[in-house]
């Protein structure tokens, strides 16, 4: 019973903190006009123009602030601090057990969340000011990849050398020892999830999908008796839900890099802490589908003389270009996310 309380109480607290912080942040963001000054994109990943994307988003990119992801990581940090402080100021068996900061389960994901979010925040600030060399401003893709590589290398080394983790679980088969190959696998997964950040393109889309994915891994961690990690995941979900309260159309702000970069890098840590890497493509199916659709589109244009598979990539914008209202795309993504998250959890539990 206490374990359930330990998981759900921080979830609620994080959500309430996020709700309280959001109006303050929104006021600040609008007061200082913290949004892109030019709508759309100058060029896509394939190097060509993006006329369809720019047509779909010509009235959305400007006038709506970026950096809404601040709500997520600030809610997480404050919630963790509150439970830690209570356990120190009012020490008892109950308060000590409610404190879910632990070296083996939550130090590393918290570090990664902060590090990734700060890198994303720097990118957002450069986009807002129009500074930087990447399209309309911001950190270049190369610099962001190098930053993520740095976070991945530190995190992988922590797993391998400090936590003595060098294996993954294969459903229905067992543990697979990787040795030093664990480190490049870890880096590959983090970079793949970082690439999936492009799902943050429609109001409510990325927030809903990420909340579902972290909820699934919270459930997995709970059933594996990783209670501190499960609580950490639900705290993230609480912050995301508070963000979603103000991001559902019409959005008061966008999550952008300070949210997505922090969440995707942190998700990598959570996945490896649970050992459930093989079910990640299932639980996080919308993220991987987004990345794959971009790869297919760019490859097709390169190899087939400019011919495209999708009207526009990533695939959620393809559905918009087909005439689907944005809210229909978002709701169907949420439904698909829930179904695949449940399938992934079932495989984990019976495998």
Return per-residue pLDDT of the chain as tens, 351 residues.
Answer: 788 999 999 999 999 999 999 999 999 999 999 998 776 555 555 555 555 555 655 556 678 999 999 999 999 999 999 999 999 999 999 999 999 999 889 999 999 999 999 999 999 999 998 775 544 568 999 999 999 999 999 999 999 998 899 999 899 888 899 999 999 999 999 999 999 999 998 999 999 999 999 999 999 999 999 999 999 999 999 999 999 999 998 899 999 999 999 999 999 999 999 999 999 999 999 999 999 999 999 999 898 888 899 999 899 999 999 999 999 999 999 999 999 999 999 999 997
What distances in angstroms separate CA 55 from CA 41, 58, 61, 118, 165, one per listed residue? 10, 5, 11, 31, 48
What is the residue range of 197's domain? 2-276
What distances in angstroms separate CA 292 from CA 192, 210, 235, 300, one per listed residue? 10, 18, 29, 12
In 3D space, the residue among 108, 103, 33, 110 whose CA is nearest the CA of residue 67 turns out to be 33
CB 201 within 8 A of CB 314: yes
The answer to whether residue 319 sits within a structural domain is no
The answer to whether residue 337 sits within a structural domain is no
The answer to whether residue 288 sits within a structural domain is no
pTM tops 0.85, yes or no: yes
d(CA 261, CA 6): 27
pLDDT at 41: 59
In 3D space, the residue among 20, 120, 107 whose CA is nearest the CA of residue 70 turns out to be 120
The answer to whether residue 177 sits within a structural domain is yes
Question: What distance lies between CA 3 and its chain's CA centroid?
Answer: 25
In 3D space, the residue among 122, 118, 117 whose CA is nearest the CA of residue 139 turns out to be 122
d(CA 139, CA 251): 24
The answer to whether residue 240 sits within a structural domain is yes
CB 286 within 8 A of CB 199: yes
pLDDT at 44: 54
pLDDT at 315: 94
pLDDT at 57: 58
In 3D space, the residue among 156, 168, 204, 146 whose CA is nearest the CA of residue 328 turns out to be 204
Q: Which residues contact 48 (CB under 8 A, 6 or more apart)?
A: 301, 306
Placement of tokens 């794959």 in the chain: 292
The answer to whether residue 326 sits within a structural domain is no
CB 101 within 8 A of CB 228: yes
pLDDT at 237: 98
User: Residue 91: left (phi > 0), alpha (psi -120 to 50), or beta?
Assistant: beta
DSSP string, 194-217: HHGGGGTTSTTHHHHHHHHHHHHH
Q: How many domains does the chain have?
A: 1
The answer to whether residue 164 sits within a structural domain is yes
Q: Which residues contact 26 (CB under 8 A, 6 or more apart)?
A: 65, 246, 252, 253
The answer to whether residue 160 sits within a structural domain is yes
């Amino acid at each position: 019973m206490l374990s359930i309380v330990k998981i759900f109480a921080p979830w609620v607290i994080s959500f309430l903190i996020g709700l309280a912080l959001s109006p303050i942040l929104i006021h600040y963001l609008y007061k200082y006009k913290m949004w892109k000054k030019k709508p759309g994109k100058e060029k896509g990943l394939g190097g060509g123009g993006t006329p369809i994307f720019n047509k779909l988003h010509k009235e959305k990119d400007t006038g709506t602030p970026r950096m809404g992801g601040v709500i997520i990581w600030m809610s997480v940090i404050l919630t963790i601090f509150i439970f830690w402080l209570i356990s120190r100021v009012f020490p008892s068996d109950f308060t000590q057990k409610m404190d879910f900061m632990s070296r083996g389960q939550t130090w590393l994901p918290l570090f990664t969340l902060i590090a990734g979010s700060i890198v994303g925040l720097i990118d957002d600030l450069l986009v807002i000011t129009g500074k930087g060399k990447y399209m309309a401003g911001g950190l270049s893709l190369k610099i962001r990849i190098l930053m993520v590589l740095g976070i991945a290398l530190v995190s992988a080394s922590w797993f391998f050398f400090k936590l003595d983790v060098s294996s993954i679980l294969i459903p229905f088969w067992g543990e697979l020892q990787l040795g030093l190959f664990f480190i490049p696998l870890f880096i590959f997964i983090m970079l793949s999830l970082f690439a999936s950040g492009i799902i943050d393109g429609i109001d409510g889309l990325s927030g809903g999908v990420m909340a579902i994915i972290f909820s699934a891994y919270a459930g997995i961690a709970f059933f594996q008796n990783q209670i501190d990690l499960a609580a950490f995941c639900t705290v993230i979900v609480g912050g995301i839900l508070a963000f979603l309260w103000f991001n559902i159309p019409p959005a008061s702000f966008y999550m952008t890099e300070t949210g997505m970069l922090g969440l995707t890098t942190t998700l990598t840590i959570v996945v490896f802490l649970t050992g459930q890497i093989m079910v990640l493509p299932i639980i996080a199916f919308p993220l991987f589908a987004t990345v794959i659709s971009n790869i297919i589109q760019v490859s097709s244009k390169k190899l087939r003389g400019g011919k495209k598979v999708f009207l526009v990539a990533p695939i959620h914008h393809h559905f918009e270009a087909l005439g689907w209202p944005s809210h229909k795309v978002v709701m169907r993504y949420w439904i698909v996310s829930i179904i695949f998250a449940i399938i992934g959890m079932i495989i984990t539990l019976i495998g």
